[in-house]
Amino acid sequence: MKKGQPLFIIDQTPYIAAVDAAKAQVATARATLSTAQLNLEGKEKLYEQKMIGEFDLRRARHAREEAAAQLESAQAELASARTNLEYTTICSPVDGRISTFDFLEGELVDPSVEIPIATVAANSHIYTYFSLSEKLFTDLFKEYGCSSSSELISKLPPVTLYTTWDEEFPLKGRIDAISGSADTSTGAVLLRASFDNPSEVFRNGSNGYIEFSSVKHGVFVIPQDAAIHIQDKYFVFRVIEGKAVSTEIWVLPSADGQHYVVTSGLNDGDMIIAEKADMVSEGMAIAQK
């Protein structure tokens, strides 16, 4: 499907009739203007010969101006009618692939219909949209030392796109747009990443998820099996003098499914239970190897 290629033609009969009627109005208005012009020229000669008064001359000028205005109005109506007729031929806005049709030939289509007749998607280059919490978004500014969204966009690394079945898309993308406002209900900020998609594996409306790297300093990475999640809190068991002691930790909300990034609650040298923490109880004796 090429840009500008006709896709559908809506019944043109009433629109063609409207164009023809507008053309007739223009022709009538032109004739009226021509008559008014000739009448004005005659009145001007008679006025020069002092055979009519100024009132008659002014009335002829007014008639000519009125006829000119009627012609302009008729021409505007004709232009509008032609535009409406052009709208009956629906053309592709972009190069791309067309979806299946949601209407059959002969079905009624009017501006109140919310379902599109069809969708043309340019899938060779795609945009993906995802959101970050306000805290994560603010952390990115701090991490990359940015003072504006445009500066952050220029510094963010390439991103990776995955299908919903965890297959990695072979081409990297770039974050190229950040929303100027946050979601009023969640506080999330919308970002957009663009990818070349020559194979058209992803189509308009496809789902997936985005992964991009983020460098954190002064944090600990622990197995998820080492932490217990209770409501909105996370706990690990430290080994102190041979016994298990529960300790609250704070983790980043994003995770890879296998690890937690601990930002607070642990110190260098702490020993924790690294697996099956849900089977450990407070004060349990721990044999160290």
What's the 3-state SS for the chain? CCCCCEEEECCCHHHHHHHHHHHHHHHHHHHHHHHHHHHHHHHHHHHHCCCCCHHHHHHHHHHHHHHHHHHHHHHHHHHHHHHHHHHCEEECCCCCEECCCCCCCCCCCCCCCCCCCCCEECCCEEEEEEEECHHHHHHHHHHHCCCCHHHHHHHCCCEEEEECCCCECCCCEEEEEEEEEECCCCCCEEEEEEEECCCCCCCCCCCEEEEECCCCCCCEEEEHHHCEEECCEEEEEEEECCEEEEEEEEECCCCCCCEEEEEECCCCCCCECCCCHHHCCCCCECCCC
What value does the mean pLDDT of the chain take?
A: 86
- Whichever domain contains 261, its CATH number is 2.40.420.20
Q: What is the pLDDT of residues 178-191, one digit of tens each?
A: 998 888 888 889 99
Residue 113 lies in a domain: no
What domain range is 243 assigned to? Answer: 220-279
Same domain, yes or no: 202 and 251: no
Same domain, yes or no: 244 and 177: no
Q: What is the pLDDT of residues 47-103, one digit of tens each?
A: 898 888 999 999 999 999 999 999 999 999 999 999 999 988 888 776 666 766 677
Same domain, yes or no: 168 and 239: no
Residue where a domain terminates, one of 75, 91, 107: 91
- pLDDT band at residue 218 under the 50/70/90 scheme: confident
Same domain, yes or no: 146 and 164: yes
Same domain, yes or no: 17 and 79: yes
Same domain, yes or no: 85 and 131: no
Same domain, yes or no: 207 and 128: yes
Same domain, yes or no: 187 and 251: no
Same domain, yes or no: 208 and 225: no
Domain count, the chain: 3
- Whichever domain contains 55, its CATH number is 1.10.287.470
